[in-house]
Structure 1
Amino acid sequence: MSVERKPRRPDVTTAEIVGGVVKRELFLTDHDPRWAEAYAEHERRIRAALGPAAVQVEHIGSTSVPGLAAKPIIDVLVTVADITAEEDYLDQLVAAGYDLRVREPGHRLVRTPELDAHIHVMEVGDPLAEDYLLFRDRLRTDDADRALYERTKRALLEQDWADMNAYADAKTEVVTAIKERARAAVSEAAGR
Structure 2
Amino acid sequence: MRIVEVTPYNEQWVSLFEEEAEKLKKVFGPEIIHIHHIGSTSVKGLKAKPIIDIMPVVKNISLIDKFNKEMEALGYEPKGENGISGRRYFKKGGDSRTHHIHIYEFKNPHIKRHLAFRDYLRAHPDAVKKYGNLKEVLSNRYPFDIQSYIKGKEHLAIEIEQKAMAWYQSLTSINELSQ
- Normalised TM-score (structure 1): 0.77
Counterparts of 1:39 and 1:120 in 2: how far apart (Å)?
A: 13
Matches within 5 A, 1:32-181: 32-104=10-82, 105-113=85-93, 115-160=97-142, 164=146, 166-181=148-163
Q: Which amino acid aligns with 2:78?
A: L
Write the deviation string for residues 26-74 of structure 1: whole angstroms up to 9, x where unpaired.
1111111111110110000000111111222111111111111111111
Give the total of aligned pairs.
170
Q: Which amino acid aligns with 1:145?
A: A
Counterparts of 1:177 and 1:109 in 2: how far apart (Å)?
A: 25
- Normalised TM-score (structure 2): 0.82
SS of the residue aligned with 1:85?
helix
Using a 3 Å threshold, how does the CA distance of structure 1 residues 169 and 91 change in structure 2: closer, same or farther?
Answer: farther
What's the counterpart of residue 165 of structure 2? 183
Contact 1:46–1:96 under 8 Å retained in 2: no
Using a 3 Å threshold, how does the CA distance of structure 1 residues 87 and 186 change in structure 2: closer, same or farther?
Answer: closer
Q: Which amino acid aligns with 2:26?
A: A
Give 1:118 deviation, angstroms.
1.0
Unaligned runs of 5+ in 2: none
Counterparts of 2:164 and 2:65 in 1: how far apart (Å)?
A: 35
Counterparts of 1:163 and 1:149 in 2: how far apart (Å)?
A: 19
Q: Which amino acid aligns with 2:44?
A: P
Q: Which amino acid aligns with 1:68?
A: L
Using a 3 Å threshold, how does the CA distance of structure 1 residues 46 and 158 change in structure 2: closer, same or farther?
Answer: same
| Higher normalized helix content (fraction of residues) | 2
Contact 1:50–1:92 under 8 Å retained in 2: no
Counterparts of 1:79 and 1:94 in 2: how far apart (Å)?
A: 19
Unaligned runs of 5+ in 1: 1-22
